[in-house]
Amino acid sequence: MISILTNDNFDRAVTPMPGLHVVRFWAEWCGPCRMMAPLYAQAARDMQEQAHFAEVDIDAAPELASRFRVQSIPTVLLFKDGKVLDRMTGAGSKAAIEAFVSRHLN
């Protein structure tokens, strides 16, 4: 399941929570973002036991994009224990998304 994050719920959903949180920043008008969406959803289903998956629509929450210095989309940020641990920029395959997350599993 992919959670939808907004300015109102981001800090409650990601920052204080333990474990890995994978957050995709995207926009409806972004072609690579739309191309990546089903791959991200498949990775989220396959890795739901290892990490929490969420996404931020930068048009609905530009403050979050600015806060985390997201300058191009799609960008996927990996949070661990509330802190940004890694970032992946550009549309990635399902295998690339899973490898990105797997590098940080203990």
Is 64 a known active-site residue? no
Respond yes or no: is residue 33 known to be catalytic: yes
Distance CA 16, CA 13 (A): 7
Phi and psi, residue 19, nearest 5°: 95, -175
**Residues whose CB falls within 8 Å of the CB of residue 32, separated by 6 or more in sequence, listed in order:** 73, 74, 90, 91
Locate 26 and state its tokens: 């995207």
Q: Which of 22, 30, 44, 65 is catalytic?
A: 30
* Bridge partners (DSSP) listed for residue 69: none
| Upper half-sphere CA count for residue 71 (Cβ side, 13 Å) | 1
Choosing from 33, 91, 97, 101, which is the catalytic residue? Answer: 33
3-state secondary structure of 51: coil
Catalytic residues: 30, 33
